[in-house]
Amino acid sequence: MISPGRRIGPFELIGRIGHGGQGEVWLARPHGGRAVRWHATRAWLWAWWRAGLIDLALACRLRLAALKLAWPGMEASLHDEHGHLASPGAGHPHLTSLFGQRYGSAGCDLGFTAPGAGAARRLYLALAYEPGVTLERVLRHRGVLALPRAMAVLQQVADALGHLHRRGIVHHDVRAANIVLRAGYTEPPHAVLIDLGAAEVPLAPRRWAIYGAEGHMPPERVAPCPAPPTPAVDIYGMGMLLRALTARALVSPELARLIADATMPDPADRLAALPDMAALQARLRCLPEAGQGHPSPRRDGLEGWDRTRSRRSTV
C-alpha cells in the first residue's frame, strides 16, 4: 500500500498532492537516514504544504520532489515523459524538470517501487517539485487574473511551448491545470508548464491512445479518425487558455481576433493564421492588453495566491 512515510527508491513520501487518469503525484524528499527526526520533519513539511508556505527557496534547500506513480497499465506515459525531459537541451526556465537535472542526482529519476505484500510494482518518475498554485486554482477561487499579468503568463507558456516544438514535441495538454505560478510574489508571476504525460512526437505518434483533457483538445484530435498531432494542437490549447483568462473581461478587437484565429476548427486555417508559437507571441506583444501596465496587487486576483496551496488534479 502506498502511504506517507513509505520509501520509494531514494525518496520517502510526505503526502499525496494529486491524482488523475494516468497515476498519482506525491510530495517526496530524499531519505534522510534518521527515522525519528525524519518523521518529525515529514509532519512539519506536510503541514507547511497544506498551508501553502513552501516557496522555491525552501523547496530547493530541502530538495523536494514531485513523485509520479503510474497506475498499472499506464507506464508508457511516464517512460515517454522521462524521455522528453531527459533528452539533451530539454531544460527551459518555464518548463518542468527532472529531479536529477535540478539537483544533480543522476539515475534516480525513473524506477520501480519495491514489491509489497500482494501489490504489483509500480513505475515512478521523480520531478523537481514546483511550489505554487495552478492557474486553474487561481481562476476557480479568485475568478480573475489581471489582463497584463495574464498576457505575461501566456508569453512564458508560449515560450516553453516553442521550446518543445523546436525539439519536435507537442505538449498536447495545454490548460490552466498544467500551469503553476511559483510561490512568492513576483511581477509578473513566474509560470511553469508541467505534465508532459500527454505529449506527442509528430514524427513518432502514439499508436495505442490519445491523451488529453476533454474540452481542451482540438476537433481534429477527437474526431473518429484523429488527424496526426502537430503544433496546431498547442496553438488551439493556447487559444482556449486565452478564452478562459479573458472570460470576465472586456477585450480589444485584436485579442478577440487572436482567440478566434487560435481556436479555428480546421488546423490548416489555424496554422495559416498562426504558423508557430513565435507568431502567437508576436501578436500577444502587440495587444493593447499587454501594455496596460501592472495594476495594484490589492485589486488583482493574485493577492494572497502565494498563501494558497496548490493541488495537481491531473498527472
Would you kindly state where each structural domain of the chain is located, as residue ranges? 7-128, 133-307
Which residues in the chain come in under a pLDDT of 70?
32-40, 116-119, 184-185, 207-209, 292-315
pLDDT for 296 equals: 43
- Among 245, 282, 43, smallest CA distance to 135 is for 245
Specify whether the CB–CB gap between 229 and 236 falls below 8 A. Answer: no
Q: Which CATH code fits 133-307?
A: 1.10.510.10
Which spans in the chain are helix H? 35-50, 56-62, 75-86, 99-103, 135-142, 147-166, 219-222, 232-245, 253-262, 267-273, 277-285
Half-sphere exposure of 229 (CA within 13 A, CB side): 24
**Paired strand residues for 162:** none
Is residue 177 classed exposed, middle or buried when 0-12, 13-18 and 19+ CB atoms within 10 A define those classes? buried
pLDDT for 313 equals: 38
pLDDT for 223 equals: 86
User: Is 7-128 a domain of CATH 3.30.200.20?
Assistant: yes
pLDDT for 301 equals: 46
Cis bond before residue 188 (omega within 30° of 0): yes
pLDDT for 307 equals: 46
247: Cβ contacts below 8 Å, ≥ 6 apart: none
pTM for the structure as a whole:
0.88
The alpha carbon dihedral of 15, 116, 69, 67 has a sign of: positive
Report the distance separating Cα 309 and Cα 315, nearest Å: 17
